[in-house]
């Protein structure tokens, strides 16, 4: 690769990063999205990255939609921007590769563009966020361009299904995706439950039509008094994944993986907390967004991660 001039111009020291772990040496370029895992590399434990590869942050619990299956807490809260940037710098220094901003609705967070800009400029983390897209404006899109590397757009159905679940005109979503495409590559998220399982083909076709790079499947987890996707829904999803011709790259949430789901496991030597952790809008770090308990971050986020690992019984 090094002898290819076009590759040299695509990759840069500013955007490329090597993460050492039990699985080997992982090269990641946040600008192009290139990932290369050198499994042959034997990494001493003392050199392994301490931070998870990816940490998601709920910047705020605020949202201007009221989806019935939303798992976010309804108590008002938001993270302090300066503390957040310090946490990101820690994660970057300890081998983290990416950060994902969510909520609530992250675009409603005061100074959202400034947080993304600081994250991109002061760390080598890939900056992503998940949004319903309706609060994006041309001005915000202009501010985010160049400091966000990937967006995830929550869709959960097309046409009447989208309008019933999300409470917004589907035509408005189509218009907003013009702004989304102007910022960076994007993917589409689909919460899979009894109301959306029959929308899989339609959403996949919509994602392809709109130029999405990925369709992320999110089987609904039990939350807020809802039972989540039952065994029947999960079997239907497995069948769809197994037998539907690939129209777009598919991904699935870790909590949604079932025994029959054909997924790749590139990091078999690592624990879930080596891969991902979640920080809610109260500043509590958890194994994932659906976990009921976690560790409050007091100062160093790495100290909180180590305490969380101890509580989870992993090292």
Residue 2: which pLDDT band, with cuts at 50, 70 and 90?
Answer: very low
Residue 312: which pLDDT band, with cuts at 50, 70 and 90?
Answer: confident
| pLDDT at site 13 | 63
Q: CA triplet 157, 161, 167: central angle to 5 degrees? A: 100
Whether 254 and 290 have beta carbons less than 8 Å apart is answered as no
pTM, rounded to two decimals:
0.92
Q: Is 32 inside any structural domain? A: no
Q: Is 35 inside any structural domain? A: no
Q: Is 141 inside any structural domain? A: yes
Q: Is 121 inside any structural domain? A: yes
Mean pLDDT score, 53-60: 97
Comparison of pLDDT for 19 and 72, the residue scoring more: 19
What percent of the chain has a predicted confidence (pLDDT) above 90?
A: 78
| pLDDT at site 240 | 94
Q: Is 40 inside any structural domain? A: no
pLDDT per residue over 278-295, tens digit each? 999 999 999 999 888 999
Whether 206 and 179 have beta carbons less than 8 Å apart is answered as no
Q: Is 295 inside any structural domain? A: yes
Q: Per-residue pLDDT for 6 more than 60?
A: no
Number of compact structural domains in the chain: 1
pLDDT per residue over 101-140, tens digit each? 999 999 999 999 999 999 999 999 999 999 999 999 999 9
Give the chain's mean pLDDT.
91
Show the domain range for 266. 50-312
pLDDT per residue over 183-198, tens digit each? 999 999 999 999 999 9
pLDDT per residue over 231-240, tens digit each? 999 999 999 9
Q: DSSP letter string over 7-25?
A: HHHH--TTTEEEEEETTEE
| pLDDT at site 254 | 83
Whether 269 and 48 have beta carbons less than 8 Å apart is answered as no
Residue 225: which pLDDT band, with cuts at 50, 70 and 90?
Answer: confident
Q: Is 151 inside any structural domain? A: yes
Q: Is 93 inside any structural domain? A: yes
Q: What is the CATH number of the domain that holds 95?
A: 3.20.20.70
Burial class (CB in 10 A: 0-12, 13-18, 19+), 229: buried
């Amino acid at each position: 690769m090094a002898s290819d001039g076009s590759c040299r111009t695509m990759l840069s020291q500013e955007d490329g990063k090597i993460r050492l772990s039990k699985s080997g040496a992982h090269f990641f370029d946040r600008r192009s999205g290139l990932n290369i895992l050198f499994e042959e590399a034997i990494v001493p434990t003392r050199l392994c990255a301490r931070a998870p590869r990816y940490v998601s942050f709920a910047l705020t619990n605020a949202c201007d939609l009221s989806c019935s299956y939303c798992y976010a807490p309804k108590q008002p809260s938001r993270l302090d921007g300066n503390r957040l940037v310090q946490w990101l710098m820690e994660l970057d220094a300890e081998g983290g590769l990416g950060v994902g901003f969510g909520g609530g609705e992250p675009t409603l967070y005061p100074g959202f563009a400034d947080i993304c800009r600081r994250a991109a400029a002061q760390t080598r983390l890939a900056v992503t966020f998940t949004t319903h897209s309706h609060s994006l404006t041309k001005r915000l899109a202009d501010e985010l361009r160049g400091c966000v590397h990937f967006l995830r757009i929550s869709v959960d159905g097309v046409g009447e299904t989208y309008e019933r679940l999300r409470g917004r005109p589907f035509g408005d979503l189509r218009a907003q995706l013009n702004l989304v495409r102007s910022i960076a590559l994007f993917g589409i998220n689909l919460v899979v439950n009894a109301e959306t399982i029959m929308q899989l083909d339609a959403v996949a076709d919509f994602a392809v039509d709109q130029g999405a790079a990925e369709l992320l499947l999110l089987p609904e987890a039990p939350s807020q008094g809802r039972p989540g996707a039952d065994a029947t829904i999960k079997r239907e999803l497995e069948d769809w994944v197994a037998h539907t011709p690939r129209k777009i790259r598919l991904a699935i949430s870790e909590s949604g993986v079932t025994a029959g789901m054909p997924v790749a496991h590139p990091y078999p030597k690592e624990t879930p907390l080596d891969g991902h952790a979640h920080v809610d809008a109260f500043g509590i770090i958890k194994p994932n967004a659906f976990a009921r308990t976690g560790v409050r971050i007091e100062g160093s986020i790495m100290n909180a991660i180590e305490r969380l690992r101890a509580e989870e019984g992993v090292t």
